[in-house]
Every structure is written in structure tokens, then in C-alpha cells.
Structure 1
Amino acid sequence: MAPGWLDIHGHFFLPQTAAEDVEFVKASHAAHFMISEAPQFKPDKMLAYNDAAGVGMQMLSYIPLTTRKLQQANDFGLSIVQKYPSRFGLLAALPTDEPGEALKEIGRMRSQLLQADGFAVTTMRGGIGLGHESLRPVWAELNKRGEVIFVHPNAYLKGQDGRPSPLIDVAFDTARTITDMIYSRVFLDFPEIKWVFSHCAGAFPALSGRVLLLGTESWVPNHKGIKTDDIKKQISSIYVDTAASAETGMEPAVRMVGIEHVVYGADCGVPCSTERTMEENKEAVRMIAKKYGDSEQVGMNGFKLFPYAEMRAQS
């Protein structure tokens, strides 16, 4: 058994100049995200927290806005895994607004001697959502390979009502994305992909019953003829992580997908998370998991998705 939990939701960033850090803070403030400084990726600091938190393996991801930076981020992420193979894994970012480039990046990441553990995408990129028809060749390739895809809400959205998007907007962003993917048959047509949605799938667990009840009514556009049983099957196939949402979000998610499809996520490495909030969330995960039989299960579930990472963690 691997030592410690697997955390699927760790963030990293490329090194920036002081001027770039200043611009990052300005842009964050314009989006109502009142941070005092730009985040810095410090692996030793993250490992120190992980040691204290009982996390043995952490998956890192970062999805920059441009394809060139995205490729640089993937290369930098692999270099971190190479330095700390028993502690970090990489979910390589894909530019889903450029399907051709996404296919190239899949090939590039899978041709490396040290490979990424899976892939990461954002809910919306360049106006293209994950249910868009242009992405079907990308999903087909990932389906053929049986990949894990981690789905993070759009971190670049400006928050509504004068508050930052990480507070509540990300939850609705995720819910809209899952709903669109259901009507686009993504989960049905590409069943070998394991989709992991962050933050307990946002608002979707609370809305899933509504989608099941009303989703096939005549007044709902349904161009691909999705049936109620199709909706049930698609919902039950997804995975969720617990990042910053366990206290009130985990039990609805468990009822929706089962405890086996819930994996631990800390949301480590970003300004919206602190050691206090991550610890409070982790204790909620442990408490709720215990109701289903084993307080450690959710923390260990991620290793079933990433067997190679489990091997590295044991070394």
C-alpha cells in the first residue's frame, strides 16, 4: 500500500519575473480576487505541508492561456516529477480551444520517457466548451488510450456580483459543463475515459435530480436524443474530487456517483487555499468517508486511477 493519501488537485505555476507578478496581482484584483501577492510554486513548501497532512502523492496541473505557455508548463511539470517521482505526478494540460494542437500535445506527452499520469482540461477555453463537436477527435484519442482527464473550472473567469469566481462561480461553471457534456453524449460515446470533476462536481450533484426529472421533457432541446437512462448512466460514470467542498458537497456527490468515485483533492498551491482551509476540508472528508465504512477510503481511491503513481509512491 502506498504511504499516505493521493491528492489529485495540486497547482503549480511557471516561474515569473517581478513585473509579471505585479501584473498578475492587478489582473486578479480586476477580477475581484483580492490577493496580496502572486502565487509562487515552491515544491519543498508543498511537500512539507503534504508530509504534515499525510499526503504521499500529489498530482500537479496548470493550464495557461496560450498553447506555447501550456507546453512550457507541461515540460516544467515533468521536470518536477523527475526530481520528486515518489511524491508528485503530472496531469498534462491540453489546449482544448485548438483540437489539432491538443492531439499533438497528447502525442508529445505520451512519447516522453517519463510520462504524465493523465491530462487536465478547463471547462471553457477560448469559447470552446468540453461538449463541443470539434473536440470529438481529441476524446476519441484519449478514449482509445483509456486516459484519466481532470476537469477544472475556468480559473480565468471574472467573478459575478463583485466577488471572486473561486467562491461560487466555479461551482456553476462545472455544473453547466457536465450538463452540456451529457447532452453531447461525451460520457456515453467515450466510455473508457475516466473524467474527474473538481470541487465535488460543483453545483451539479444538487442539480442532478432536476436534470434527471426534467432533462428529457419536450421543451428541452435534445438534438442527440438522450434518454433518461442515458442521463443516469452518464452521471454514474463520472468521478469527483473533494477540493474545498467536502463539508456540504461530498455527501450529495457520494449519493450521485458512489463513494468509490470520490477522490481526495486539496486545491493546494493557490491563494484561495490555506493550510487551515485544506485541513478543515480534509477532516470533513475523513468524517464523511467514515460514515460509509472507512475514513481513509477517499484518500486512497485516487491510486486506483493512477497505478503508475502508486508504484512510484511505494518506491
Structure 2
Amino acid sequence: MPTGWLDIHAHFSPPGTPEQVRSVWQAMRDECFLMPDPYVWSAEEALRHMDETGVAMQLLSQVPRVHGVPDPAAVHAGISASNRYGASLVAQRPDRLGLLAALPTDSADSALAELRRTDELGPDGYLLVAPYAGVHLGAGFLEPVWGEIEQRGKAVLVHPDAHAPAAQGRPSPLAEVAFDTARSVIDMLYAGVLLRHPGLLVVLAHAGGAFPSLAGRLELLGTELWVPNPHHVTQSELREQMSRLYLDTAASGSDGLLGPAVHLVGRDHLVYGSDSGTPCTSGSNVKTVIEQLHRSVALGPGFAESVGRRGFDLFPQATRRASGSTVSRTA
């Protein structure tokens, strides 16, 4: 088993021309994400920061940009290209980097085609955006997609659409993403996805967003007669599905966020994620979350280390590659 932590939630950006980088920067500013300068990701900087924070391996993913791109085919092509680039990064440093391949979920055919294409890339797991182009993860047409993911036995990270339009004059990554995660998870639960696919391993980004705080309300009221429930999911089935979820710690190290998460799934279903590699996550914020995990009353003494290493249990393929690495925190 490698030393250090496994960060299951980190991002990368494929290289672009100066014009492309500036175009993305301007699009983000148009959605109230007021970065003073364009953001450029580099593998070298990611590895340096991993060394500083005691991270043995990061699983990289890219959240596709759907809004503002009118041609779904162009988005799908971009996702495929991004997945291939991510795989090339892993090939260069297989002991330190892994890949969660993104899948488009606006249609079953598109998702299945990309899923099968990524088989040759050997991803460690998959990234599903919730919602993707307005489609939540309980959509009935996604049933064969869940089936094929389950057959592969690889975990899924459910991530909100960080490129969604601003709300109330503030960028979506500030608050809206938390509610989008809750909406999609609730959609999955009422669709009974985890009941039909008991082999699925699903991790929710950002400690599940707003979902842990809503779970008690859902359990109390969610099966009342006035609530549409076409699949007749029972209260115990709601509870069963919720208990199977894993939650990552990205931007969620405070006890105000960890408390509801622990209450919902227990300490053993929390896994470390940093959300590194995006302009909304600074290096200092990552270090703050790690410090919060170590001090957390909700976790209790010593549990931060378990959370930091839990990803090695969930992603065995990555763990085998990381087994030769030795990392200790340098700052």
C-alpha cells in the first residue's frame, strides 16, 4: 500500500492556444466568475502541490463545458479528446496520476459510445456531470449506461456542472452546484438506480452538496401520498440507497459540512477529494481543508488519515500503480 493520500477529485485542462484560453476566461467572467487572469493548468504544478500536501496520487477529470456550445456533437468530440489527453498524462506518470473518464449523458447512445471508447484507455473510473445539458441522472434512458458501468466494476464520481450559468449575480460554483448535486441525487433515488444496480459505487463531489442536509426531510416526507413516486420506492429503499453513497471532502472540511455527511453515510463512506486543478480552488484552500479534516470534531481524532487513504480501497487499479510511490508532506 502506498504512503500518502489518494485524491479522487482533481481536475486537468488540455492545452489550448492563447486565444482559446482567453475565450474560456472571458466566458467565465460573463458568468460572474471574476478571475483576474486566465487560468492555465500544468501537470508539473499539480505534482509539486501533491508533494507539498502529502498526496500520493490524484485521479484527474475534466468537467465538460456544455453551456454556450450549440452543437452536441462538438461537445461529445471535445469530451473524447479530453479523455484521450487525460490518459496521456497518466501514461507519463502512472504512479502519481489516474483518470476518471467523462461521459456525456444527454443520450444513452452517446454515453455508451464514449464508455466503450474509453475501455482502451483503461480509466480508473468515470465522471458523470449532474445535470448534463439539463438531464439529471435518474433519466430512464440512462438505464443501460448504469448497467455497463456496473459490469466494469469501476467507481463513478458525480460532479455538478461547474460551468452552469450564474445565479443572482454570483457564479454557480459558489452555491448553485450544491443544489444541483442534491437535485440529481434525489432524481437517482426516486428512479431506484442503486436498487437495480447493487454493484454500483457512487461518490458524490463536495460532500454531496446540499443533499446530506436534505436527506432527513426526504426520508420523512419523500414517500407521502402527495409526492409523485412512479417507481413506488419505499422509505426503507430510500434509506438503503442513501447509505450506499460515498461523499468526498472537496471544499468540505468544516464541521458544518462534515457533520451532516457523517450523519448520512458514516465516517467510513467519506473519501478525500481536493477539487485541485480549477480556478475556484487555490492551493491555500486545499491546505485549509486538510487542516480542517485533522481538527474535525465530526470526524474525531485520527479519522482524517483514514479519509485520506480510503480512495485506495475504492480504486484498486490506481492503487496498484501507486504502490511503488512514497510521499510525505513537505509543507
TM over 0.5: yes
- Which of 54, 71, 79 is equivalent to 1:70? 79
- Asked whether the 8 Å contact 1:147–1:192 carries over to 2, the reply is no
Q: Which runs of 5+ in 2 are unaligned?
A: 67-74, 325-331
Aligned residue type for 2:144: P
2:295 pairs with 1:287: yes
Report how far residue 145 of structure 1 moved.
Answer: 2.0
Deviations 1:250-282 (A, max 9, x none): 221111111111100111011111111111111
Report how far residue 37 of structure 1 moved.
Answer: 2.6
Moved over 6 A (4+): none
Report how far residue 290 of structure 1 moved.
Answer: 5.4
2:194 pairs with 1:194: no
- In the other structure, the counterpart of 1:21 is 21
Aligned residue type for 1:263: V
- In the other structure, the counterpart of 1:36 is 36
Deviations 1:26-63 (A, max 9, x none): 21111111012332220110111110100001000013
2:118 pairs with 1:109: yes
Q: Distance in 1 between matches of 2:125 and 2:268?
A: 19
Q: Distance in 2 between matches of 1:245 and 1:300?
A: 17
Q: Which runs of 5+ in 1 are unaligned?
A: none
- Which of 174, 177, 180 is equivalent to 1:170? 177
Cα RMSD for the two superposed structures:
1.3
- In the other structure, the counterpart of 2:71 is none
- Asked whether the 8 Å contact 2:276–2:286 carries over to 1, the reply is yes
Q: Distance in 1 between matches of 2:128 and 2:174?
A: 20
2:193 pairs with 1:179: no
- Asked whether the 8 Å contact 1:5–1:55 carries over to 2, the reply is yes
- In the other structure, the counterpart of 2:58 is 58
Aligned residue type for 1:241: D
Report how far residue 19 of structure 1 moved.
Answer: 1.2
Q: Distance in 2 between matches of 1:222 and 1:281?
A: 38
- In the other structure, the counterpart of 1:7 is 7
Deviations 1:194-253 (A, max 9, x none): 011100000111110000000001111111101100010010011110000120212211
Q: Distance in 1 between matches of 2:214 and 2:101?
A: 30
2:322 pairs with 1:313: yes
2:268 pairs with 1:273: no
- Which of 137, 141, 145 is equivalent to 2:148? 141
Which SS does the other structure have where 2:218 is aligned? helix
Aligned residue type for 1:130: L
Which SS does the other structure have where 2:303 is aligned? coil
- In the other structure, the counterpart of 1:216 is 223
Deviations 1:127-151 (A, max 9, x none): 2211101110100111122221111
- Asked whether the 8 Å contact 2:294–2:301 carries over to 1, the reply is no
Aligned residue type for 2:46: M
Deviations 1:74-100 (A, max 9, x none): 000000000010100000010111321
Report how far residue 286 of structure 1 moved.
Answer: 2.3
Aligned residue type for 1:141: E
- TM-score, normalised on structure 1? 0.96
Q: Distance in 2 between matches of 1:253 and 1:140?
A: 27
Q: Distance in 2 between matches of 1:280 and 1:139?
A: 35
Report how far residue 18 of structure 1 moved.
Answer: 1.2
Report how far residue 292 of structure 1 moved.
Answer: 5.9
- TM-score, normalised on structure 2? 0.92
Pair 120,199 (structure 1): closer, same or farther in 2 beyond 3 Å: same
Pair 168,69 (structure 1): closer, same or farther in 2 beyond 3 Å: same
The alignment of Structure 1 onto Structure 2 pairs a total of residues equal to: 313
Q: Distance in 2 between matches of 1:97 and 1:149?
A: 17
Q: Distance in 2 between matches of 1:44 and 1:76?
A: 15
2:259 pairs with 1:251: yes
Report how far residue 104 of structure 1 moved.
Answer: 1.8
Aligned residue type for 2:281: S
